[in-house]
Amino acid sequence: MKVVTVVGARPQFIKAAPVSRCLRRRGTEILVHTGQHYDAAMSGIFFEELKIPRPDYHLEVGSKTHGAQTGEMLSGLEKVLIQEEPDWVLVYGDTNTTLAGALAAAKLQLPVAHVEAGLRSFNRQMPEEINRVLTDHIAQLLCCPTETAVQHLASEGIHRGVVQVGDVMVDALRFNRELAGDRNILEQLGAEPREYVLVTLHRAENTDHPDRLEEIISALNELESPMILPLHPRTRNRMERQGLTFTNPRLKVIEPVGYLDMLHLEMNAAKILTDSGGVQKEAFLLQVPCITMRDETEWTETVKQKTNVLVGANKRKIIEYVESFHVDFAKVDPVFGNGHTADRIVELLGKSGGCQQ
């Protein structure tokens, strides 16, 4: 079995690490990095920490408009796929890298496996929603993290190749939790366990809408709790362009951190305030109350179980929930699988016979 794995953005490195480890025991993996993320703190650190093999191809596409970035990836990936003739092309999540990988493969009639298939926000304003819907409709193997994801695909008429495998981020967490526990980032930051709110903010639906960004930054500037914010470069850039600044002395703004430090910050946080997809899930798994600055979420199970609350970009709600949101995790059912999802994905790739499909 020969698989070309296409990654390019931070969360994809984290998701691909456990699968890559299993895959290389069973077959050949050719790893392609599109270069969508390229700063050391957004890319290199994950390869080092998670011991991800060096990419066989690096397309170095970098930051561009959606069309230019996706198009350049498509053209670079096509050359790689023609050269490598894999049995499968494996893509993760919902970024421009995901769509480019799936589309390049589909045009060459190569089978696509999509990890995190079937997620929906039902908000077509989000670039991620377009990417994931299109990818699901051209994939042959659709690895769904949850039952809800399977149902979404069924309602779009997609039944063939759909398997509920669980969530690979549980595997990543299982593998790295102990190592993360030993980090000393809190000491470095002079922060105390359970006495701070961990904040992340980067989604285009917030950063690319001046009103929303202004409202969120204003909430962060007024909150009374100590906070730690590893700041995504997109947000830094947008704030500069809009002339927004952080003025709250209780808010520690730091560079993006590696996965182990991030898990350490998450597992010791009193609460998490975020607009990230992956961070909402990690909050659930690590039993930290989560306040999500979005109007909808793909991870509806967390909201249904009342471990996560959606506050949009509403300053009053952000402040109210950061101060008052409490969760009883004793009542929560696990919904993201058993942490052996990577094995299951690789088994399916082996069984399905790739090109013969």
Which residues are part of the catalytic machinery?
202
Per CB under 6 A, 207 contacts ligand UDP: no
| C-alpha separations of 69 from 35, 73, 133, 135, 261 in Å | 10, 6, 19, 16, 30
- Choose the contact partner of 37 out of ligand UD1, ligand UDP, none; CB within 5 to 8 A by kind: ligand UD1
Least Å from the CB of residue 350 to ligand UDP: 27
Chain positions 119 to 138 lying near ligand UD1, rule: CB under 6 A, are 127-128
Buried b (16+ CB within 10 A) or exposed e, 264-291: bbbbbbbbbbbbbbbbbbbbbbbebbbb
Q: Select from 5, 20, 95, 164 the one that contacts ligand UD1 (CB under 6 A).
A: 95
User: What distance separates the 2 farthest-apart alpha carbons in the chain?
Assistant: 60
- Tell me whether residue 66 or residue 107 sits nearer to ligand UD1 (CB atom): 66
Per CB under 6 A, 282 contacts ligand UD1: no
Per CB under 6 A, 10 contacts ligand UD1: yes
Can you say whether the dihedral through the CA atoms of 207, 211, 213, 216 is positive or negative? negative
Residues contacting residue 345 through CB under 8 Å, at least 6 positions apart = 19, 22, 113, 115, 143, 165, 168
Distance CA 268, CA 191 (A): 10
Residue located via tokens 């990419």: 55
Span from 150-158, 256-264, 288-296, 331-339 in contact with ligand UDP (CB under 6 A): 256-264
Distance CA 51, CA 243 (A): 39
Per CB under 6 A, 10 contacts ligand UDP: yes
What track of x and - describes contact with ligand UD1 for positions 199 through 218 (by CB under 6 A)?
A: ---x----------------
- Choose the contact partner of 20 out of ligand UD1, ligand UDP, none; CB within 5 to 8 A by kind: none
- Tell me whether residue 29 or residue 128 sits nearer to ligand UD1 (CB atom): 128
- Choose the contact partner of 63 out of ligand UDP, ligand UD1, none; CB within 5 to 8 A by kind: ligand UD1
Which residue, among 134, 135, 137, 166, has the nearest Cα to 149 in the 3D structure?
Answer: 166
Per CB under 6 A, 339 contacts ligand UDP: no
Per CB under 6 A, 200 contacts ligand UDP: yes
Least Å from the CB of residue 297 to ligand UDP: 11
Residues contacting residue 197 through CB under 8 Å, at least 6 positions apart = 223, 225, 226, 227, 228, 269, 270, 271, 272, 273, 322
Per CB under 6 A, 37 contacts ligand UD1: yes
Q: How are the residues of the chain apportioned to helix, strand and coil, as percentages rounded to the nearest 5?
A: 50, 15, 35
Residues at the contact surface with ligand UDP, assessed by CB under 6 A: 10-11, 14, 200, 230, 256-259, 262, 276-279, 282
Q: Please give the residue ranges that form the binding site for ligand UD1 (CB under 6 A).
A: 9-11, 36-39, 42, 63, 94-96, 127-128, 202, 233-234, 237
